[in-house]
């Protein structure tokens, strides 16, 4: 039973329940929902109070405080946080798996919040070479919001998005001071980022200051052509140096099936930064960084308990860890990229979308920022 619960916990955390198909898959999925989803229907009145973004505690990462997003891989040099001419607004993915409520109660001592710190260390930190990192804590939607009706999902994600939007507005008014910025996220964070870009950035002068957006791991809600047709200024990036544009990918091991989606999805190859189906060789991989720490599996009725982890160091980059190739909107890579890079229980690489291409993201964000600023050189370039 413990092993089954562990597998289910991993399954929910990476958010791949909707890829299960067939009769056996349907039965598994129903059992999966019955085992762990919160009781009843979502009522916004039951949620905890909205976070005040004037308080430091409601930010997972800020350039003015020490946090796991400050980390850099062994051997990599960066300028101190707060000294960069560009910011990144990073929206973290889902770490809330508990059956206790439909949205995170934002308990700073919980396993959910420890998951957020894991995300700062292993994902947001990739932008530490170019940018001052701002990442809000928010009343994220429970992982089970993705497995009900579209109406329920949209209601829950819409509620969580309100926090993200308020955090972004606070950041612009009190922290940004007119600087260019990058938008970045993973999974649920990338879903919120799509809406933020469409509704708040493309439709205003902010699109002129958005260097680029990294909408990675949008596994269930794709980054579709319809997103770009609804915008006037923001387009898919077509090269490593394009500006005011979006990159996106979801990673699967070689031999797996392409992800099934309700719409086609943008697939950017992070080794070439092009949108095509050509294979990019492993020698273009500038360094995968195996994640540090472990994600909490506080699944369903399990107590949302922290493991008291500290995130104080990252592993060194592993060059040429894998090749990469987009096929039918999914990014495929080697099924054996090395120690520390494992598939999840459903056979996807969703949990290591950042890790496999960590240094490519790190270096590309510096390159785009440099080009935006007219050639300014960043540490390590």
Tell me the C-alpha distance between 321 and 327, whole Å: 19
SS3 147: helix
Structural domains counted in the chain? 1
Burial 34-50 (b: 16+ CB within 10 A, else e): eebbbeeebeeeebeee
Full residue range of the structural domain in which residue 173 is found: 2-372
Length of the chain: 381
The Cα-based distances of 293 to 46, 106, 155, 193 in angstroms read 32, 21, 32, 26
Residue 236, in any domain of the structure: yes
Residue 178, in any domain of the structure: yes
Residue 176, in any domain of the structure: yes
Residue 306, in any domain of the structure: yes
> Rounded to 5 degrees, what are φ and ψ at 364?
-70, -35
Tell me the C-alpha distance between 245 and 236, whole Å: 5
Q: What is the reported pTM? A: 0.92
Tell me the C-alpha distance between 249 and 328, whole Å: 11
Residue 332, in any domain of the structure: yes
In eight-state DSSP terms, residue 324 is: E
The Cα-based distances of 354 to 249, 258, 286 in angstroms read 10, 19, 13
Residue 377, in any domain of the structure: no
Residue 381, in any domain of the structure: no
Tell me the C-alpha distance between 103 and 46, whole Å: 9
If residue 246 lies in a helix (H) or strand (E), which one and from where to where? Answer: strand 245-247
Tell me the C-alpha distance between 12 and 144, whole Å: 8
| Tens place of pLDDT per residue across the chain (381 aa) | 333 333 334 344 434 333 333 334 455 555 556 567 888 899 999 999 999 999 999 999 999 999 999 999 999 999 999 999 999 999 999 999 888 899 999 999 999 999 999 999 999 999 999 999 999 999 999 999 998 889 999 999 999 999 999 999 999 999 999 999 999 999 999 999 999 999 999 999 999 999 999 999 999 999 999 999 999 999 999 999 999 999 999 999 999 999 999 999 999 999 999 999 999 999 999 999 999 999 887 777 678 889 999 999 999 999 999 999 999 999 999 998 999 999 987 789 999 999 999 999 999 999 999 999 998 777 776
Tell me the C-alpha distance between 116 and 319, whole Å: 27
Q: Which two tokens stand for residue 169?
A: 């507005």
């Amino acid at each position: 039973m413990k092993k089954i619960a562990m597998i289910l916990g991993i399954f929910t955390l990476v958010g791949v329940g909707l890829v299960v198909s067939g009769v056996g898959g349907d039965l598994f999925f129903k059992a999966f929902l019955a085992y762990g989803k919160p009781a009843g229907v979502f009522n916004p009145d039951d949620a905890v109070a909205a976070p005040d973004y004037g308080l430091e505690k409601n930010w997972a990462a800020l350039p003015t405080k020490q946090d796991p997003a400050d980390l850099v891989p062994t051997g990599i040099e960066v300028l101190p946080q707060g000294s960069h001419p560009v910011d990144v607004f990073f929206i973290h993915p889902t770490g809330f798996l508990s059956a206790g409520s439909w949205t995170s109660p934002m308990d700073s001592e919980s396993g959910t919040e420890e998951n957020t710190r894991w995300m700062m260390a292993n994902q947001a930190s990739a932008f530490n070479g170019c940018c001052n990192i701002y990442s809000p804590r928010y009343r994220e939607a429970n992982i089970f919001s993705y497995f009900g009706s579209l109406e329920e999902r949209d209601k829950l994600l819409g509620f969580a998005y309100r926090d993200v939007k308020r955090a972004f507005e606070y950041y612009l008014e009190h922290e940004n001071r007119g600087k260019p910025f990058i938008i970045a996220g993973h999974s649920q964070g990338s879903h919120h980022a799509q809406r933020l870009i469409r509704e708040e950035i493309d439709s205003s002068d902010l699109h002129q200051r958005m260097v680029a957006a990294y909408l990675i791991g949008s596994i269930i809600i794709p980054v579709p052509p319809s997103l770009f047709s609804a915008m006037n200024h923001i387009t898919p990036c077509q090269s490593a140096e394009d500006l005011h544009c979006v990159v996106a990918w979801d990673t699967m091991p070689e031999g797996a099936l392409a992800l099934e989606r309700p719409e086609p999805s943008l697939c950017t190859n992070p080794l070439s930064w092009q949108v095509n189906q050509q294979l990019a060789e492993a020698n273009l991989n500038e360094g995968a960084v195996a994640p540090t720490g472990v994600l909490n599996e506080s699944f369903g009725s399990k107590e949302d308990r922290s493991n008291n982890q500290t995130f104080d160091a990252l592993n060194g980059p592993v060059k040429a860890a894998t090749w990469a190739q987009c096929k039918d909107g999914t990014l495929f890579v080697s099924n054996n990229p090395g120690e520390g890079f494992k598939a999840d229980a459903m056979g996807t690489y969703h949990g290591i979308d950042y890790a496999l291409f960590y240094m490519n993201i790190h270096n590309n964000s510096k390159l785009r920022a440099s080009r935006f600023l007219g050639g300014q050189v960043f540490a390590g370039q």
